[in-house]
Structure 1
Amino acid sequence: MGVTLALIIFLCSYFFIITEKLNRAVIACFGGVLMLVFGVYEINAAFLHHIDWHTITLLLA
């Protein structure tokens, strides 16, 4: 079920990005939040493995 749900969220996000109804960054963040809310990813794994902290640090420096 997790893979199917992730695919549905991804395709919906991609559709809204293509149609440019909303800002791409907003759609990407909303899709990521939906995957966390529905349990596709665990919050700990998201923060430890899926975020490139070196890039975030470089952007904030």
Structure 2
Amino acid sequence: METKLKEHLIQIAGRLTPESTLEDVYEQLSLLADIEISEQQEQKGQILTQSEVEKQSKEWVK
């Protein structure tokens, strides 16, 4: 996990501009973390099909 954090920070640092803010860095780090989690879930088969999502969302909206 620590290695991934360093990789993400280096990746973000390469895209910083003089106008970048700390909030920009946090947003990018959060996005990269979310993508990583999603990829791990996909590898574990923890995904839903479109029809499963539609079915569940209808149940939530009742």
TM-score using structure 1 length: 0.35
Greater length-normalized contact order (CA 8 Å, ≥ 6 residues apart): 1
TM-score using structure 2 length: 0.35
Larger Cα Rg: Structure 1 or Structure 2?
2
